[in-house]
Amino acid sequence: MDKKDSLWDLFQQKNLSRRTFLKTCVAITGILGLSPAMVPEVVAAAEKKPLVPVIWLHGHECTGCDEAFIRSQSPLASDVVLNMISLEYSDTLAAAAGEPFEHHLADIMKRYAGKYILAVEGAVPLADEGIHCMVGGKTFLAALKEAAKGAAAIIEYGSCAAWGGIQAAKPNPTKSVSISDVLGNSIPIVKVPGCPPIPEVMTGVVMHYALFGQLPPLDSKGRPKQFYGNRIHDTCYRRPFFDSGMFVEKFDDAGSKAGWCLYKVGCRGPEAYNSCGNLRWWNGLSYPIQSGHGCIACGNNNFWDNGPFYERLPNIPVPNTIANADKVGMVAAGVAAAGVTVHGLLSAVQKRSSHSDNSETRRTQA
């Protein structure tokens, strides 16, 4: 088997300093959502761990996940592809094409059997024996099963790969399903849903495996906890408006212009788990809620079929109870009214106390 260089080997080949290497390792630790205490382990892995081979397949999809990936800023997608992994096959990002490229794929699967990461973008159509998606003269279904046999781990990039996506939306004429629906649990799989996923989440997941040789800690749905551990609702900068019962009723009303909570116009933030509220998009520039549109929960299973995007969720689970926007608003209004009343009473008491003190002072002076 060909010997693969480590990240530190590449730094030395390019005459980059040890200081630059260590700074890069510190940055990678932060990007992966790891504790600062993990920096020595990241450095050790980057010094010795050979660059992991990656095969990237495309099925029923729109290539939006590729478009997101190449826009990663921390780390740059170019650094990931050229310096941190060994991307051996991607029929979208590669310069090569045709039969020689397909022969290369077969050679890589044989040479690195059991050691490569299989990244998959897109759903798998099962209807009519899979003929609704053909790549290199093979059905995507056949190509996927063949590549999965020698994979050490599989990354499902995007909601199409993770859940079936828009291809699996009703009535689903091609009988499209997720990657794990086809492959089962025989191989370690991590889901990175989103339509598309956040670029830095995509690069962060593959970097974690490249450094540590294992998938990151996963939640009950198979998603990496460091990126899907919080609800959009809990990291949203508009959350105080929700808690105060201040909601946008129409997209052109005063509340919309003032940046109030978008829950009543369909925001799915209370049921969506993702990193949009803290990582945001395009190097932290913005995300849909910041631009004035509610979250559509694009990382959720069956999000295309989960009702009209501009109808509000019926209720929101809160610890030990269920509250909806109307109740929250009523409570907020009641608290505000009570606050005004208490403030008025305290002001009156303070004024009366001050008046009594002044009167006592005047009697003492007399």
Q: What is the DSSP letter of 32?
A: T
CA distances from 92 to 129, 161, 255 (A): 24, 16, 43
Closest to 143 in 3D by CA, of 164, 111, 167, 118: 118
Closest to 301 in 3D by CA, of 222, 215, 235: 222
Q: Amino acid letter at 141? A: L
Q: What is the DSSP letter of 269?
A: G
Q: Amino acid letter at 287? A: Y
Residue 121 near residue 93 (C-beta atoms within 8 A): no
Q: Mark the binding-site residues for [4Fe-4S] cluster, compressed into ranges.
A: 62, 65, 160, 195, 233, 236, 261, 267
Q: What is the DSSP letter of 270?
A: G
- Cα angle 333, 337, 343 (rounded to 5 degrees) comes to 145
Q: Mark the binding-site residues, compressed into ranges.
A: 62, 65, 160, 195, 233, 236, 261, 267, 276, 295, 298
Cα separation, 6 vs 47, whole angstroms: 6
Q: Is the dihedral of CA 7, 208, 41, 278 positive or negative?
A: positive
* Buried/exposed code over 331-347 (b: 16+ C-beta within 10 A; e: otherwise): ebeeeeeeeeeeeeeee
Q: What is the DSSP letter of 247?
A: B
Residue 16 near residue 47 (C-beta atoms within 8 A): no
Please measure the distance between the N-terminal and C-terminal CA atoms of the chain and give it in whole angstroms.
Answer: 105
Instruction: For residue 270, say if its preceding peptide bond is cis, omega within 30 degrees of 0.
Output: no
- The two three-digit tokens of residue 178, written as one number: 């997720």
Cα separation, 123 vs 62, whole angstroms: 10
Q: Mark the binding-site residues for [3Fe-4S] cluster, compressed into ranges.
A: 276, 295, 298
